[in-house]
Amino acid sequence: MGAILNTYFNMLLKSLGNTMLLTLLSLVFALVIGLIFALMNVGKNRIFNLIGTIYVDAVRGVPLLVLAFFIYFGMPQGIKSLGFTDFRLTALQAGVIALAMNCGAYMAEIIRAGIESVDKGQMEAARSLGLPYGTSMRRVVLPQAIRTMIPSIINQFIITLKDTSILSAIGFPELTNTGKTVASNTMDLIGTWAVIALFYMVVITLLSKLAKYMERRIKRGAEQY
């Protein structure tokens, strides 16, 4: 284990950086996707409700690995069949799309639950003051909902971070993929995967502590309020 760290520490640290980059990019896009479909689900338009429900159920019903394969291998082939012969996706691009779609479906439910946790009287009061629905949602409901959503969003970040290991199957040089290389070079399977597990454990433990800290702060704020 010590020999692996001495020889491959920089490579593993770089791959951890790739993992964090992939996770952060995916989470940013997932927040946008989640917000769009959450607003569709909480609105009164039945067509938007149906679209939002179909997206969430469909994406959550497909394994992430299958989704990643479809985007990395299937989507370029489909687009090339339309005449765009130069179209291709890098492993990072495909990985971000797959993770963002997958995480976005779960994020939509987190945001929907956060919005619905706000007393309906808040929206009614804002509308009675003459504020449009969109403005009421943006300035009155969402700021209150965010407080309850933050711990769940951090937990989803942790889940997405762990899910990046699946994308080693499409060749993205994240931590698990680098672990395969190190294990192949050293033939020390126990030591290599112990080191990889340690890297994941340190990062995920820190994020878990952050989630618990934020949850305690939110509870204190709610009690004071």
**For 173-220, what is each residue's pLDDT tens digit?**
889 999 998 888 888 888 899 999 999 999 999 888 887 887 777 666
Span between the terminal Cα atoms of the chain, in Å: 51
CA angle in degrees (0–180, nearest 5) for 120-121-126: 105
pTM: 0.85
Residue 112: Cβ-neighbour burial (10 angstroms; 0-12, 13-18, 19+): buried
Alpha-carbon radius of gyration of the chain: 21
Tell me how far apart the alpha carbons of residues 205 and 213 are, in angstroms, rounded to a whole number.
12
Asked whether the predicted pLDDT for residue 224 surpasses 70, the reply is: no
| 1 vs 13: which has the higher pLDDT | 13
Residues near 33 by beta carbon (within 8 Å), at least 6 away in sequence: 100, 101, 104, 105, 107, 108
pLDDT at 221: 60
pLDDT at 18: 92
Tell me how far apart the alpha carbons of residues 104 and 160 are, in angstroms, rounded to a whole number.
10
Asked whether the predicted pLDDT for residue 225 surpasses 90, the reply is: no
